[in-house]
Amino acid sequence: MRIKLQLKITSDERILPINYQYAVSSWIYKTLNVSNPEFASWLHEQGFSLKNKRFKLFCFSNIYFEKSQLQGEQIVSYSENCSIILSFLVPDAAHHFVHGCFKNLDFVLGNKQHKLRLHVSTVEVLPAPQFSESMRFEAITPVCISQIRPINGKSHCEYLSPLDEAYSSLLMKNTLTKHEAYTGEKLSDSKFSLKLLSEPASKLIAITKNENETIFIRGYKFQLELNTSPLLMKTCYYAGLGEKNSMGFGLIKAI
């Protein structure tokens, strides 16, 4: 399911650090935990698992401010209104629960220097596209695909461009693994092909957990045509395309 939260800034200060993805991800976990500790604990500790690897099958958009300006490493909002899209690949039975978790919430995002207090004014369930075997998408947030390569005898994580020849096969593997973790079913015969419809734009995102720990992840924004089964289309759409989805990477929209 996919929901859009209309937010109202309730603090006098309207400044948010630009690297807020980790804060949003943590807020989602915290919200689920307050509403249903058992579900949140399962999502955080186990989630959808496969071969000892856990998948947090959700993603989210940037925060859309009605009127704002980037000033150095901070976003300054000149309006009290903003919004964010949250996307979850969860069973139908969990839709009502997820929707209810975010209604009328008050929460805080930020760091020690700047904190933004927000209130969830409305929760809108967004309509699903008609999933078919060929669809066109636009990456709303950067899509991340990586692979480990040895350099000077040490393992090195390399973030790939969609132009890399290994990109499509790694994206397919990632999607199939998510689908198997979610459904428990392995798709033995699945077509999967990607066609770029625009020049990929590289984005280096800083994920700041605290003032002493920041990691940098590279992703790419682009338009694409995807050809695969409707089941895998649904996985890509709701869980996110590629890696690091629970940190806000890989949210796509149908075009």
In what helix (H) or strand (E) does residue 114 lie, and over which residues does it extend? none
Question: Do residue 108 and residue 152 come from a single domain?
Answer: no
pTM of the model: 0.90
Question: Do residue 193 and residue 155 come from a single domain?
Answer: yes
Query: Domain range spanning residue 71?
Result: 2-125
- Each residue's pLDDT expressed in tens, for the chain with a length of 255 residues: 999 999 999 999 999 999 999 999 999 988 877 776 666 665 555 455 545 555 578 999 999 999 999 999 999 999 999 999 999 998 887 788 888 889 999 999 988 888 899 999 999 999 999 999 999 999 999 999 999 988 788 888 999 999 999 999 999 999 999 998 888 888 876 799 999 999 999 999 999 887 778 899 999 999 999 999 999 999 999 999 999 999 999 999 999
For residue 206, the domain's CATH number is 3.30.70.1900
CA atoms of 241 and 227, how far apart (whole Å): 14
Question: Do residue 15 and residue 112 come from a single domain?
Answer: yes
For residue 65, the domain's CATH number is 3.30.70.1890
Question: Do residue 118 and residue 146 come from a single domain?
Answer: no
Q: What is the dihedral of CA 33, 39, 41, 45, to 10 degrees?
A: -140
Look up residue 166 and give its two tokens.
């290994």
